[in-house]
């Protein structure tokens, strides 16, 4: 199954007001495995960047001044997203901004039926625990030492690892073997070639008469064995 894990950076928290999305990072996963396909874009919000927001993601007015506006890049983003489920951390926030940008350029909003919220998944799996992306990375031992500031593509990559852990852990990929390795691997019991193996009689596992006699002799030499406690003389 194809899924898109994504994150956004914005000028603030109010997508219904004048706050805008300034960055999006998307990573493609198929059957919970990252394929290497990504989509990343910065956007000129056509407004000033508040200092509080810039401290979070480091995106300044100067940096964003020559970036495209969302309308000019909407089609290629939608093409990358396709009709796949969309995974985000606190997904209502990211969906809110993305759909508001689509609305501004007269495009259909993304259906909320496609939304998978990793905060909701984490709340079920770890009730009462801290649910921030940083906290979940710490819980699962995911290295985020290279994360100095928030960045949409970097945070989406970290979220991929968190999402894998929240939905089964790293063992889910054990069935994904290289085809050539599968061809040369030793056949498992029950496979078509197992019947060609020579028949072997079952090995005996019971003690011999000699072994039983030695064991009885050993027990007789034990002084006051604990298994006799409580027995009448």
Q: Tell me which residues are annotated as active site.
A: 150
Q: In this structure, how many other beta carbons lie within 10 angstroms of the beta carbon of residue 201?
A: 5
Could you tell me where the DSSP H helices lie in the chain? 51-57, 61-64, 70-81, 91-104, 118-125, 133-140, 152-166, 179-184, 209-220
CA atoms within 13 A on the CB side of 161: 17
The DSSP 8-state label assigned to residue 196 in this structure reads: G
Q: Is 60 helix (H, G, I), strand (E, B) or coil?
A: coil
CA atoms within 13 A on the CB side of 61: 7
Contact by Cβ (8 Å): 43, 20: yes
Measured distance CA(217)–CA(3) in Å, rounded: 68
Q: What is the DSSP string of 107-155?
A: -PPPPGGGEEEHHHHHHHHSTTS--SHHHHHHHHT---TT-SS--HHHH
Token digits of residue 43: 């956007």
């Amino acid at each position: 199954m194809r899924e898109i894990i994504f994150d956004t950076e914005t000028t603030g928290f109010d997508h219904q007001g004048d706050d805008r999305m300034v960055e999006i990072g998307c990573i493609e996963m198929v059957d919970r495995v990252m394929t290497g396909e990504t989509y990343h874009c910065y956007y000129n919000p056509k407004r000033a960047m508040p200092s509080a927001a810039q401290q979070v993601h480091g995106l300044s007015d100067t940096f964003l001044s020559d970036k495209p506006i969302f309308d000019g890049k909407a089609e290629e983003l939608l093409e990358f997203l396709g009709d796949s489920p969309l995974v985000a951390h606190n997904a209502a926030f990211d969906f809110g901004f993305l759909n508001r940008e689509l609305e501004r350029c007269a495009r259909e909003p993304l259906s909320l039926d496609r939304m998978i919220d990793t905060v909701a998944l984490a709340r079920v799996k770890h009730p009462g625990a801290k649910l921030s992306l940083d906290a979940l990375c710490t819980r699962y031992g995911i290295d985020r030492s290279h994360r100095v500031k928030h960045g949409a593509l970097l945070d989406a990559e970290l979220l991929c690892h968190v999402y894998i852990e929240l939905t089964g852990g790293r063992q889910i990929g054990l069935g994904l073997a290289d085809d050539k390795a599968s061809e040369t691997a030793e056949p498992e019991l029950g496979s078509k070639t197992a019947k060609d193996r020579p028949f072997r009689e079952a090995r005996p596992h019971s003690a011999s008469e000699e072994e039983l006699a030695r064991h009885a002799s050993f027990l007789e030499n034990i002084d006051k064995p604990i298994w006799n406690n409580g027995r009448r003389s």
